[in-house]
Amino acid sequence: MRPVSRPVILTGDRTTGPLHLGHYIGSLKSRVELQHTHKQYVLLADTQALTDNADHPDKVRRNVLEVALDYLAVGIDPALSTICLQSALPALAELTMLYLNFVTVARLERNPTIKEEIQARGFGRDIPAGFLCYPAAQAADITAFRATVVPVGEDQTPLIEQTNELVRRLNRQIGRSVLPEARAITPLIGRLPGVDGRAKMSKSQGNALPLSASDDEIAAAVQRMYTDPDHLRASDPGRVEGNVVFTYLDAFDPDREAVAELKAHYQKGGLGDMVLKQRLTIILQATVAPIRERRAALSRDVDTIMDILRTGVQRGREITEQTKDEIVAGLGLFSL
């Protein structure tokens, strides 16, 4: 019997800050599940982080270990997943350079994700070239690991489209399917709003709960959350839509039935915000506590983390170099 090979996932995070509950619910939690059914590569994307952080390399460096700690603390298991440091895999840079010859500047500029992010970052014409080129770098990442499944947010699907364009272009020129196309999977639970109710939880906006948050920090953040501004008395009927506390309960409360009942009760009237907030506080504290504790324990053992990174890089090098060699041979380029 031949072993059935598992589908390959590539996922990862830019190393620009420690991860938070938004990352946990949006991606980390599912990675912990997916690693049992998929061959999963998790990329510490420090090279990509530099594309808009050239002035802050220290921040990018510092957060390599922070994000690695987050990964291990949530349960990404280096025996099941391969944690790879992007900058330690030269084949990714080499493939990026190669792919940049197969994509026009105009096509990169048309990428909706790039367009939006250029606007969001206020780059205008002063966009760093590395930032414009990052769709090619992402295509290099995805294809180097031969990933067929890439979990992304809704707004990132154009990047997967562009990757597949490059894959088809290369396969056509090579004359056979050297590279597989990739499929974007988007998380079941949409983007978690910040604790202030704004659309996105983000460290830079100060509305994030990090995975190292203490019980008090969690309680205080929940305490400040918006519910229904018209729900002044517990006896009043309340609104569930746009109610940040319910959004969080939907994301974190494992007891779906209980949440459904709470919603009905709240809408009818007679359910106070404090009851909801206490419930959410307990649930978030129970979610974060074991992560925080594992994180604290691991952070005292940097040697182990470094060993895990080294092992991951070694495995990552094997697959990425192999892919690069196949493309070089397929295109008929020179090799020594």
Q: Which stretch binds a second copy (CB under 8 A): 1-9, 22-30, 51-59, 146-154?
A: 51-59
Answer yes or no whether residue 101 interacts with a second copy by CB under 8 A: yes
Give φ, ψ of 144 to 5 degrees.
-60, -35
Task: Output 21 or 83, the one with its CB closest to a second copy.
Answer: 83
Among 47, 164, 207, 227, binds a second copy (CB under 8 A): 47
Answer yes or no whether residue 301 interacts with a second copy by CB under 8 A: no
Answer yes or no whether residue 129 interacts with a second copy by CB under 8 A: yes
Residues 158-197 that bind a second copy (CB under 8 A): 173
Q: Are 186 and 157 in contact (CB under 8 A)?
A: yes
Q: Rounded CA gap, 95 and 77, in Å?
A: 28
Q: Rounded CA gap, 267 and 310, in Å?
A: 53
Answer yes or no whether residue 306 interacts with a second copy by CB under 8 A: yes
Among 200, 220, 310, 318, binds a second copy (CB under 8 A): 310
- Cα-only R_g, the chain: 22
Q: Which stretch binds a second copy (CB under 8 A): 119-127, 151-159, 239-247, 284-292?
A: 119-127
Answer yes or no whether residue 106 interacts with a second copy by CB under 8 A: yes
Answer yes or no whether residue 55 interacts with a second copy by CB under 8 A: yes
Nearest to 138 by CA among 169, 116, 159, 156: 159
Q: Which stretch binds a second copy (CB under 8 A): 146-154, 248-256, 294-302, 328-336?
A: 328-336
Answer yes or no whether residue 206 interacts with a second copy by CB under 8 A: no
Nearest to 248 by CA among 203, 189, 204, 202: 189
Please give the DSSP secondary-structure letter assigned to residue 210.
B
Minimum distance between the CB of residue 64 and a second copy, rounded to whole angstroms?
Answer: 4
3-state DSSP call for residue 179? Answer: coil
Q: Which stretch binds a second copy (CB under 8 A): 1-9, 224-232, 242-250, 306-314?
A: 306-314
Answer yes or no whether residue 102 interacts with a second copy by CB under 8 A: yes
- Cβ-proximal residues to 297 (8 Å cutoff; 6+ apart), any chain: none
Q: Which stretch binds a second copy (CB under 8 A): 196-204, 240-248, 257-265, 303-311?
A: 303-311
**111-128 as b/e: b if 16+ CB within 10 A:** bebbeebbeeeeeeeebe
For residue 336, the tally of other CB atoms under 10 A from its CB is 2
Among 10, 69, 74, 91, binds a second copy (CB under 8 A): 91
Minimum distance between the CB of residue 143 and a second copy, rounded to whole angstroms?
Answer: 15
Residue whose pair of structure tokens reads 């994301």 in the numeric block: 251
Question: What count of Cα atoms within 13 Å lies in the side-chain half-sphere of residue 124?
Answer: 2
Task: Output 47 or 164, the one with its CB closest to a second copy.
Answer: 47
- The amino acid sitting at 146 is R
Nearest to 159 by CA among 124, 131, 184: 184
Nearest to 84 by CA among 48, 134, 55: 48
Minimum distance between the CB of residue 267 and a second copy, rounded to whole angstroms?
Answer: 50
Minimum distance between the CB of residue 35 and a second copy, rounded to whole angstroms?
Answer: 22
Residues that bind a second copy (CB under 8 A): 15, 46-47, 50-55, 57-58, 60-61, 64-65, 85, 87-88, 90-91, 93-94, 96-98, 100-106, 108, 125-133, 136-137, 173, 306, 309-310, 313, 328, 331-336
